[in-house]
A and B are shown apart, each in its own frame.
Chain A
Amino acid sequence: MGWRTLHSDLLQERVLYTKLDVGLEVFVMPRPGFHKRYAVFSTRYGSIDNRFRRPGSDAVTEVPDGIAHFLEHQLFEDEEGHVFDGFAALGASVNAYTSHTMTSYLFSTTDNFEQAFDRLLDFVQAPHFTPEGVRKEIGIIEQEIRMYEDQPRHRLALNLLQALYHVHPVRIDIAGTVDSIRRIDAETLYVCYDTFYHPSNMAVFVVGDVDPDTVLAQVEADVAGRGYSPRPAVERTYPDEPETVAQSRVEARLAAARPLYAVGFKDPVWAMSEAERLRAEVETSLVLSASLGRSSRLYQELYDADLIDDGFSARYQLGTNFGHTVIGGETQDPDALHARLLEGLERLREEGLDEGDLRRVQRQAVGEFVQMFNSLEFIANGFLYYHFLGGSLFGYLSELQAVTVDEANRRLREHFHPDRAAVSIVRPA
C-alpha cells in the first residue's frame, strides 16, 4: 500500500497518509530541523459515546458517565506497573487527553524515537484493567473532578452546555461525576475498550525529523502481530436533540473574584452534511473575529463600557454531531453585558459585515494559521481533529480564504438567533 501525499502550497509542507488493511490510518509529516519528534495515537471515542451497539449485537449498551476518560487513565497501567516509567527510561514525555469525541495518547522525545513509538503502539493496544487499578483510579479521578469543581470557568462552561442541550451527552462532564465513576468496573472498561479501540476506529499521526517509511513499517509490524480482523463500524446511538435550548438562563455561585458570563448559540449541525458542518465552522469563526474580535466596533464598545476585559473570547466548537458558539469572560455586570452583547449582535445581523472587515480577518486568520505550524503538537492534534470530523487541516486554509461576504452574512443571520441562545452566569459566593 502506497502513500497518498497531501500538500499545502502556502505552508510549503506535505503530509503522507495511508490506511492499513485493518483500517488503521497513518499520517506522517516530516519536519527536518526539529529536535522533537511527536506522535499521537487517537481513537474516535470520547465522553459522548456512552450508548452504543457492539459489533454483531442489536442491544444498546449503556455505560457510566466519564468512562472514556477513566479508561484513558487506566491504559497507563501495565503488568509491570506504570507506563510512565517505560517512557521515562527513554527520556520521552508521555501524556493523554479525552475530549467529547476523541481520546488521544501521545509522546514527544528528542531521542530513542523508535523505541518510544513502539511503547506507544503497545500500551494503547494492551489494556490491563484490574479491580485494584480501578479502585486506585477512583481516588485520583475524584480529585481531578474536585479540582474542576473549584474552577469557576469550568462550572460556567458546563452549566452552559447543560442549558444549551436537553439530552445530548455533550452536556455531561467529560470526567463524569464523583458518583458515576464509582460505578465503573474492569469488566465495563473492557467492553468499551473492545468496542472503540479497534484499529478501524483509530489513527496515528507522527511529526518531526522522521523517515515516513520507517514509521509505517513499524506500525505495520506492530499491528500485524496482534491478529486483528476487519470489522464493521461501531454504531453509536444518540437521543434526538431538539433545536431549541433546554434552558435560556442558568446561574451558580462559587468562590470567584468577579462574576463570569457566557452566552452560547446552539447550532443544529446534526441536520447538516459533513461538508456543511465544516463550512459552518470556518464561516462562524470568521464571523466571530469580524464581529467580536479586538478590531471590531462591538469589542471596543464593550471594553470601553468596562463590561469585558482581556480574557473575553468568542469561539465556535464543532463536534461530530454538536456545534455551538461560546462568547464570554469575566465581567463586572453580567446582565448589562448580556443586554449590550445581544443588542450589538442584533445590530450586526441587520447591517451585515462589510467586505473590508471580512478581508482583514481573513488575512489575520491566514497569518495565525501559518504561525500555528511552529507547533508540532498543534499539527498532529489539529490534523486528527479535522480528520475525525471528515475534513483536513490543510483544507481549512483554502476554505477560510474562499468565504465570501454574502456567505459570512448569511451565517451571521442564521446562527446568532436569539431563540438559540442560552446564558450561563457564575457569581461570587
Chain B
Amino acid sequence: MQIEFESIAIDRGFTLHVAPTDKFKTTSIRLVLRRSLRADSHTQTAVIPFVLRRGTRELPTARDIARHLENLYGAEFAVDVNKIGETQNIELFLDVVNERFLPEELPLTEAALAFLGQVTLDPAIEDGVFRRDYVAQEAEALRRRIESLINNKPQYALNRLRQEMCSGEPFGLHKYGDVEQLRHVAPAELWAHYRHVLATSPVDVFVVGPVDPGQVAGWVREHLALPRGEVEMPPAVAVPDPAARTERLIFEEQPVQQGVLALGYRTGTRYPDDDYAALLMYNGLLGGFPHSKLFVNVRERASLAYFASSQLEASKGVLWVVAGIPVEKYEQALAIIREQVEAMGSGRFTDQELENTRKGLINGVLSAQDSPGRIIGGRLVGIVNGRVRPVQEVLAALRRVTRDDVVRVAARIRPDTVFFLRAPQAASGKEGH
C-alpha cells in the first residue's frame, strides 16, 4: 500500500502536498519555509520559528497556546530549523488525532491549519514588531542549545568536525546560528527579516492523513494566505575541488572518560545524482548497520568501541564516521577505520555483505513509509535537491546496484578531516587496561 502525494499550487512558490491515507491515527501537517544557508542571515532565520511559537495576537503567551493545543486533543505543535545541504529550513509541525478516534466530533484538521495561520500571519507583536522579551529569551535559548552540545560528546565531535571541515562553506554554519550573533538579535530587524522570509521563501505545506486534497487546499487558501513576493530559490550546494584539499588532523582536549574519533569524507556523489543508490550501498556496507565493516571490525573484532558507524549527508555530499574509543587506542582505531575505507575502495567486500546491505536498505526505505514524519521528510529532501524520488524508484535503483557501481562510487570518496576529542594527555590511560 503506497502513500502518494498530490501536489497543488496554492500561490507563487507555495505548494501544498497532500497524501490522503487512513493508515495512521493522526493527521500530520508540516509547514516549511526554505532559505539558503548564509552567514549574513542564518542567525536571524534560526530564531524566527522559536519566537513564533511563543504567542499569537489571540493566544499571546506560550501558556495560552499550550491550553489551546490541549483542547485540540493534545495536538502536538513543534518548531525547528533544519539544515538540508546548504539550505536552512524553518519548519512548523502539527500533529492532530485522526477525527475518527475522538470521543466527540471535532474538525481538528481545519482547526490545526487555522492555528498555523495564526502563528505565521498573526504573531504576538508590540510596537509593530516581535515582542522584545520573546526575542531575547529565544535567542538566548538557542545560544545555550549550541553550547549544550558538549553534553553529548559524539554529537559535539560531529558538529566540530562539520565546522572544521566545511569552514568557509555555508554547510559549516550551525543551523541554530552563530553564538555571538545570537547575543545581538534586535526585534525590529528580526521582524523585517521575517516579513522578507515570509514573502520570498518557497513554501511547502505537507499533509498526511485521512483527508480530501481539494478540501485541504480550500482550508490552506483560507487560513494560510501568506504574502507572496519575488520568490528566492536557494542555490545548489558548493562542492570544493577535491584536488585542492589535503587531509587535516584536529585534536581537542576535554576531561572525558572516552575519546570520540570522527572522520569526514567528501563523497563526490550527491542525492540528485544517478549514483545516489550506489552511495547508499557504500555507506551501508561501510558503517550503516551492525553487519557493516566498522561495527564488525572496530567493535566486534577489536573490542575497541561500543559505537562505530558511518552516516551520510547526501544533500551536501559528505560522509561521517564516528566511534567512541579508549583515548590511548587512537592509532589502532584510526588504522582499522582507514583499512575499512580502503577495503571498500578496492572492492574487498563479499557478495553476502552486498546483499545484506541491499536488504537492510530496502527494509529501511519501506519502514519509513510507516511513519508520517519520515514520509514528509523524504519528500522534503527531494524537493530541496530538485529531484523527488518516489519510493518505487528508490527501491528499483537499490535493486539494480552492482558491485562495480559501489566501487565506482568508492573511487570518488576522499578523506578530508579527522577530529579527535580526547582527555588531556596527563590524565589519559589512567584506568586503561
Chain A residues in the interface with B (C-beta under 8 A): 10-12, 33-36, 82, 84-85, 88-94, 108-111, 135-144, 146-147, 149-153, 178, 255-258, 260, 293-297, 299-300, 303, 306, 309-310, 330, 360-361, 363-368, 370-371, 373-376, 429
Contacts and interface: CB of A to CB of B under 8 A. Distances in A.
A93 B306 contact: no
B63 A294 contact: yes
B76 A371 contact: yes
19 contacts: A36-B366, A85-B356, A89-B356, A90-B359, A139-B303, A142-B433, A143-B305, A143-B306, A143-B324, A146-B326, A178-B431, A255-B254, A257-B147, A258-B144, A258-B148, A296-B63, A366-B103, A367-B72, A367-B96
B300 interface: yes
Contact of A88 (B70, B356, B369): B356
A157 B117 CA distance: 40
B23 A34 contact: yes
Interface of B: 1, 22-26, 61-63, 66-67, 69-76, 95-98, 100-101, 103, 137, 140-141, 144, 147-154, 254-258, 289-291, 295-296, 299-300, 303-307, 324-326, 352, 355-357, 359-360, 362-364, 366-367, 369-372, 431, 433
A279 B175 CA distance: 43
A344 to B, nearest CB: 14
A375 B371 CA distance: 8
A111 B67 CA distance: 43
Contacts of B141: 309-310
Given A82-B300, A93-B360, A257-B150, A374 B371 contact: yes
Nearest to A254: B255
Given A139-B303, A256-B151, A367-B75, A33 B324 contact: no
A140 B296 CA distance: 12
B299 A330 contact: no
A370 B97 contact: yes
A36, A110, A150, A297 — most chain B CB neighbours (10 Å)? A150
A367 B24 contact: no
Contacts of A365: 74
A367 B367 contact: no
B74 A364 contact: yes
Contact of B70 (A297, A310, A363): A363
Given A135-B303, A143-B325, A371-B74, 7 more contacts: A85-B356, A93-B289, A136-B303, A257-B144, A303-B137, A374-B371, A429-B255
B363 A368 contact: no
Contacts of A142: 433
A90 B357 CA distance: 10
Given A109-B363, A374-B371, A368 B61 contact: no
Given A109-B363, A258-B148, A10 B303 contact: no
Nearest to A33: B23
A256 B355 CA distance: 43
A142 B325 CA distance: 10
Contacts of B325: 143
Interface pairs A-B: 5 shortest CB-CB: A367-B74, A91-B359, A139-B303, A367-B73, A295-B66
A374 B24 CA distance: 6
Contacts of A11: 25, 101
A370 B137 CA distance: 33
A149 B257 contact: yes
Contacts of A375: 371
Contacts of B149: 257
Contacts of B22: 33
Given A12-B101, A88-B289, A151-B152, A374 B70 contact: no
Given A110-B367, A368-B76, A147 B307 contact: yes
Contacts of A300: 61-63
B25 A88 contact: no
Contacts of B306: 140-141, 143-144, 147
Contacts of B372: 374
A371 B299 contact: no
Given A150-B153, A297-B63, A371-B76, A255 B256 contact: yes
Given A143-B324, A295-B67, A295-B70, A88 B360 contact: yes
A312 to B, nearest CB: 11
Nearest to B291: A88
Contacts of B254: 255
Contacts of B62: 294, 300, 303
A361 B363 contact: no
Contacts of B25: 11, 370-371, 373-374
Contacts of A361: 70
B26 A371 contact: yes
A35, A149, A178, A375 — most chain B CB neighbours (10 Å)? A35
A150 B154 CA distance: 10
B289 A364 contact: no
Contacts of B367: 35-36, 108, 110
Given A10-B101, A153-B151, A294-B63, A368 B255 contact: no
Nearest to A85: B291
